[in-house]
Amino acid sequence: MAIPILMPALSPTMEHGRLAKWLVKEGDTVSPGDVIAEIETDKATMEVEATDEGTVARIVVPEGTDNVPVKAVIAVLAEEGEDPASVEVPEAGAGAAASAGGEAGPPAGAAEAAASTAKVAPAEKAAASAAPKPTSAPAATGDGGKSGRIFASPLARRMAKEAGIDLSLVKGSGPRGRIVKQDVEKAIAEGVKKPAAPVVTAGAVPAGLSDDQVFALYEEGSYDLMPLDSMRRTIAERLTLSKQTVPHFYLTVDCIIDRLLEARARINATAPKDADGRPEWKLSVNDFIIKAWAMALKRVPAANATWSNAGIMLHHHVDVAVAVAIEGGLITPVIRRAEEKSLSVISREMRNLAARARGRKLMPEEYQGGATSISNLGMYGVKEFAAVINPPHATILAVGQG
């Protein structure tokens, strides 16, 4: 019996994820504990392990696919003695129920993601409906034309993309009309090509389309469109929500930090050396800021708070989230109970968190929560800036150049 592999929920709030990379291919044998894929959430990249033994019969969702719903079928294993070629992709709902022991099925949209190896984005659907449609041949859906979806193996899709073949013009010879490698090779030999995209002028763009839908209608080559990953999309949503729903007001003060810099140099000179003669720690100005901010919030408990609909939560300890720039976005690892920790402990912990943040290896509990944030742009020569509060925090400290 086919064994479905489902899109895992890597955090309590995760609804969708990006299938960043497959570490196995169709035909590979896997055992429980083998790492088979890498999944990207809005903040981290995490490895997915196999929980069953079998042969990878179908990779349903290609690597690089965004917005894959939790509990959607992403691959299928064939059990020992089962012919991988004869394995059918199970319904997403049935697979989720089987894997979860009868729990509630996947969220809406999981079945569509499981049934097709490439999910068409809403903007692309709207653009396709607005643009003139080719009438030379009916679309080959692989299911008798009932659903409008195109069923094709991942290899066939990759070959068609590289050759510029329109899969809707290819007749599938696989099970249930599925398009396979041989069908694409035949289409290439027969010269079946993708129809030229219609050139649409600004005056011909239908009214009421979003920016993405308008972009999709223009001729290729007029712009470079960088797809949104889950991190960029989440950052945009959260910052927009924050500025719209959280009343921001800004207070600015200049601080003389001569004594801080003197203390930093003096303390760093006392750091013990390791076997290679290197200091075991080296305090940064940011380490002092984290400690000072934590002590200040401890002195003013009303400011060490987070918002909830049930009431204002006054925290007993100061958990400070620190903004770390990473490729393509920002993440805020949290220093827990910062008011109790020494500068050297804060320094070591911050260096470890920042290094793993840049590698997108943080666990959700390491960047979620906290009661306040620090964003330091002083090292870039920025004198002053207005940071955006990270809900449900009540405060954020924006630090400029010393």
What would the two tokens of residue 80 be? 């020992």
According to DSSP, the β-strands at 372-376 and 35-40 are unpaired
- Residue 224 inside a domain? The answer is no
Decide which of 60, 83, 115 is a domain's last residue. Answer: 115
In this structure, the answer to whether residues 385 and 331 fall within a common structural domain is yes
Q: Are 337 and 317 within 8 A, CB to CB?
A: yes
- Residue 227 inside a domain? The answer is no
Task: Order across the sheet with 54-59: list the strands.
Answer: 3-6, 73-78, 54-59, 29-30
Q: How far apart are CA 63 and CA 72, in angstroms?
A: 14
In this structure, the answer to whether residues 23 and 158 fall within a common structural domain is no
Question: Does the structure show a pLDDT above 50 at 122?
Answer: no
In this structure, the answer to whether residues 144 and 88 fall within a common structural domain is no
Q: How far apart are CA 316 and CA 356, in angstroms?
A: 28
Find the mean pLDDT for residues 252-275.
92
Burial of 140-154, coded b for 16+ CB within 10 Å and e otherwise, reads bbbbeeeeebbbbbb
Q: How far apart are CA 388 and CA 247, in angstroms?
A: 10
Name the region of 31 (left: φ>0; alpha: ψ -120 to 50; beta: rest).
Answer: beta
CATH of the domain at 131: 4.10.320.10
Q: Sorting pLDDT into bands at 50, 70 and 90, what band is 42?
A: low
Give the ranges where 191-313 is alpha helix by DSSP (H): 211-217, 230-245, 258-269, 285-299
Q: Sorting pLDDT into bands at 50, 70 and 90, what band is 51?
A: confident
3 state DSSP class of 86: helix
In this structure, the answer to whether residues 213 and 237 fall within a common structural domain is no
Q: How far apart are CA 323 and CA 334, in angstroms?
A: 9
Tell me the average pLDDT of the chain.
77
Question: Does the structure show a pLDDT above 90 at 172?
Answer: no
Question: pLDDT at position 261, please?
Answer: 95
Structure confidence by residue, pLDDT tens digits, 334-359: 999 999 999 999 999 999 999 998 88
- Residue 172 inside a domain? The answer is yes
Question: Does the structure show a pLDDT above 50 at 134?
Answer: no
DSSP assignment letter at 27: T
More confident residue, 47 or 224: 47
Provide φ and ψ at 6, rounded to 5°.
Answer: -105, 155
Question: Does the structure show a pLDDT above 80 at 127?
Answer: no
In this structure, the answer to whether residues 286 and 384 fall within a common structural domain is yes
Name the residue range of residue 32's domain.
3-115
CATH of the domain at 87: 2.40.50.100
More confident residue, 247 or 117: 247
Listed residue (293, 267, 271, 288) closest to 402, CA to CA: 288
Q: Sorting pLDDT into bands at 50, 70 and 90, what band is 222?
A: low
- Describe the crossing of helices 258-269 and 285-299 by its angle, rounded to 10 degrees: 120
Q: Sorting pLDDT into bands at 50, 70 and 90, what band is 156?
A: confident
Provide φ and ψ at 48, rounded to 5°.
Answer: -110, 130
Q: How far apart are CA 55 and CA 76, in angstroms?
A: 8
- Residue 371 inside a domain? The answer is yes
- 10 Å Cβ neighbour count for 349? 18
CATH of the domain at 331: 3.30.559.10
In this structure, the answer to whether residues 185 and 170 fall within a common structural domain is yes
- Residue 225 inside a domain? The answer is no
- Residue 69 inside a domain? The answer is yes
Listed residue (392, 306, 322, 312) closest to 354, CA to CA: 322
Q: How far apart are CA 218 and CA 206, in angstroms?
A: 12
Question: pLDDT at position 242, please?
Answer: 92
- Residue 55 inside a domain? The answer is yes
Cβ neighbours of residue 47 closer than 8 Å, sequence gap 6 or more? 35, 37, 38, 39
DSSP labels, 298-332: HH-GGGSEEEETTEEEE-SS--EEE-EEETTEEE-
3 state DSSP class of 227: coil
- Percent of the chain beyond pLDDT 90? 29
- Residue 222 inside a domain? The answer is no
In this structure, the answer to whether residues 304 and 336 fall within a common structural domain is yes
Question: Does the structure show a pLDDT above 90 at 297?
Answer: yes
Q: Are 72 and 113 within 8 A, CB to CB?
A: yes
According to DSSP, the β-strands at 334-335 and 311-314 are unpaired
Decide which of 166, 187, 217 is a domain's last residue. Answer: 217
Question: pLDDT at position 315, please?
Answer: 95
Question: Does the structure show a pLDDT above 60 at 330?
Answer: yes
In this structure, the answer to whether residues 33 and 78 fall within a common structural domain is yes
In this structure, the answer to whether residues 127 and 85 fall within a common structural domain is no
Beta bridge partners of 55: 29, 78
Domain count, the chain: 3
Q: Sorting pLDDT into bands at 50, 70 and 90, what band is 304?
A: very high
Find the mean pLDDT for residues 132-156.
51
In this structure, the answer to whether residues 49 and 76 fall within a common structural domain is yes
In this structure, the answer to whether residues 256 and 186 fall within a common structural domain is no
In this structure, the answer to whether residues 194 and 161 fall within a common structural domain is yes
Q: What is the dihedral of CA 387, 388, 392, 396, to 10 degrees?
A: 10
Q: How far apart are CA 386 and CA 137, in angstroms?
A: 57
DSSP assignment letter at 267: H
3 state DSSP class of 155: helix
Decide which of 115, 132, 155 is a domain's last residue. Answer: 115
